[in-house]
C-alpha cells in the first residue's frame, strides 16, 4: 500500500479530489463536509504535502498521476468521479490519459492544458527564485493571497495559510518543476469523459484562454465561469461551487 495520506470518508459513488500547489486535503474541508453525505469522498495529500509531508515529493506530473491511479486501484475503486484543482487539474488530465475508462465524470477546475501558465501573476522560475531567496513561508503566503479576491481577508484564507506546516521548500520547488515541464495539449482530444471546466474570471494563475482551450479541445465538455472569483472559487463561493459540482455529477446522461 502506498504511504501517502488519503482522506476517505462517506458512502456512495467515489468522488476523488486532487489538490494543487501548496495545498493538501485540508483545502477541501467545505467540500468534504458537503459531499460526504452522498458520495464516498477520497482526498489524498500528494507526496510531500500535508499529512504526506514526510513522503518523498515528485517533480513530474505524470508520476504523481500514476501514483494516484495505483492508490485507487489498491483501494479497489474501479470507477469514480474525479476533480482536480490547479496543479491537481494537470494531474487529473494525466489520470484521464492513463486510466480514462475508470473515470465517470471529470472536473478540471482553475487549471489549463500547459504547466508554464501564460499570464500567470509571475513566471514559475520567478516563484522558484523567491522561495530560495525569501523562504517558503513568506513566498507561499504572497502566492496564496493571489488566490482570493479579498486576499488575506477572505473567510477561508486560513485554509491556505501556514503553508510551512503543509510542505517543505524542496517539495514546493519540485512541484513548480513538475508544472513547468508538463504539457497536456496533445492529449486533450483523447479525453472522452464528460468534463466540466470551472474557472473564475479574476483568476491570476490561469487566464480565460486556457479555460477556453480545454473547453474547445475536450469534445464532451462544458465551461462554467464564476464572476468575481479568483483561483480558489471553492473557498470564495462555497455554496455556489458545491451546487454546480453536485448538479454536474448527478446529471443523467
Among 84-98, 156-170, 178-192, name the one with the lowest average pLDDT: 156-170
Q: Is the pLDDT of residue 97 over 90?
A: yes
Q: Closest Cα to residue 184, out of 96, 109, 83, 124?
A: 96
The residues near 4 (Cβ < 8 Å, ≥ 6 apart) are: 44, 45, 46, 47, 52, 55, 67, 71
- Count how many domains the chain has: 1
| Model confidence at 1: pLDDT above 70 | no
- The mean per-residue pLDDT over the stretch 140-158 comes to 92
Average pLDDT across the chain, whole number = 94
In a domain, 1, yes or no: no
Residue 30 falls inside a structural domain: yes
Over residues 120-136, the mean pLDDT reads 92
**Which one, of 109, 97, 105, lies nearest residue 190 by Cα?**
97
CA distance 13 to 80: 7
pLDDT band, very low/low/confident/very high, at 165 (cuts 50, 70, 90): low
Q: Is residue 144 part of a domain?
A: yes
Question: CB-based burial of residue 176 (10 Å sphere; 0-12 exposed, 13-18 middle, 19+ buried)?
Answer: buried
The pLDDT of residue 116 is 85
Residue 224, pLDDT score: 98
78 pLDDT higher than 80:
yes
Rounded mean pLDDT of 121-140? 91
Helix 169-180 crosses helix 87-99 at what angle (to 10 degrees)? 60
Q: What percent of the chain has pLDDT over 70?
A: 97
In a domain, 241, yes or no: yes
Q: Which secondary-structure segment (H or E) carries 88?
A: helix 87-99
Average pLDDT over residues 178-192: 96
pLDDT at residue 195 greater than cutoff 80: yes
Which pLDDT does position 163 carry in this prediction?
53
* Nearest-angstrom CA–CA distance, 159 and 172: 17
Instruction: Return the axis-axis angle of helices 61-74 and 169-180, rounded to nearest 10°.
Output: 110
pLDDT at 253 over 60: no
pLDDT category at 57 given cuts 50, 70, 90 is: very high
Average pLDDT over residues 231-238: 97
Strand segments (E) across the chain: 6-9, 13-18, 39-44, 80-85, 103-109, 194-200, 221-226
Which set of grid coordinates corresponds to residue 240? 455556489
**pLDDT bracket for residue 2 (50, 70, 90):** low
Task: Let me know if residue 76 belongs to a domain.
Answer: yes
Q: In this structure, what are the phi and psi dihedrals at residue 130, rounded to the nearest 5 degrees?
A: -65, -35
The grid coordinates listed for 132 are 530560495
Question: Is 135 contained in some domain?
Answer: yes
Structural domain contains residue 210: yes
CATH of the domain at 127: 3.40.50.1820
Could you give phi then psi for residue 119, rounded to 5 degrees? Answer: 85, 5
**At residue 164, does pLDDT exceed 80?**
no
- pLDDT score recorded for residue 162: 60
Q: Provide the residue range defining the domain that includes 104.
A: 6-250
Amino acid at each position: 500500500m502506498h504511504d501517502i495520506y488519503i482522506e476517505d470518508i462517506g458512502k456512495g459513488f467515489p468522488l476523488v479530489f486532487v489538490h494543487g500547489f501548496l495545498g493538501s486535503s485540508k483545502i477541501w474541508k467545505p467540500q468534504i463536509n458537503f459531499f460526504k453525505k452522498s458520495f464516498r469522498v477520497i482526498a489524498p495529500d500528494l507526496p510531500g504535502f500535508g499529512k504526506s509531508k514526510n513522503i518523498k515529493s515528485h517533480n513530474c506530473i505524470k508520476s504523481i498521476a500514476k501514483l494516484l491511479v495505483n492508490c485507487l486501484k489498491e483501494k479497489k475503486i474501479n470507477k469514480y468521479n474525479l476533480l482536480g484543482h490547479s496543479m491537481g487539474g494537470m494531474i487529473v488530465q494525466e489520470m484521464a490519459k492513463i486510466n480514462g475508462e475508470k473515470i465517470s465524470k471529470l472536473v478540471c477546475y482553475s487549471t489549463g492544458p500547459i504547466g508554464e501558465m501564460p499570464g500567470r501573476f509571475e513566471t514559475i522560475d520567478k516563484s522558484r527564485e523567491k522561495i530560495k531567496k525569501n523562504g517558503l513561508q513568506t513566498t507561499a503566503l504572497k502566492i496564496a493571497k493571489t488566490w482570493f479576491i479579498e486576499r488575506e481577508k477572505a473567510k477561508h484564507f486560513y485554509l491556505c495559510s501556514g503553508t510551512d506546516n503543509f510542505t517543505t521548500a524542496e517539495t514546493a520547488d519540485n512541484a513548480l518543476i513538475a508544472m513547468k515541464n508538463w504539457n497536456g495539449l496533445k492529449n486533450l482530444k483523447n479525453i472522452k469523459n464528460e468534463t466540466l471546466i470551472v474557472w473564475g474570471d479574476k483568476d491570476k494563475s490561469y487566464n480565460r484562454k486556457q479555460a477556453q482551450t480545454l473547453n474547445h479541445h475536450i469534445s464532451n465538455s462544458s465551461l462554467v465561469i464564476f464572476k468575481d472569483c479568483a483561483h480558489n472559487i471553492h473557498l470564495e463561493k462555497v455554496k455556489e461551487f458545491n451546487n454546480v459540482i453536485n448538479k454536474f455529477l448527478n446529471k443523467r446522461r
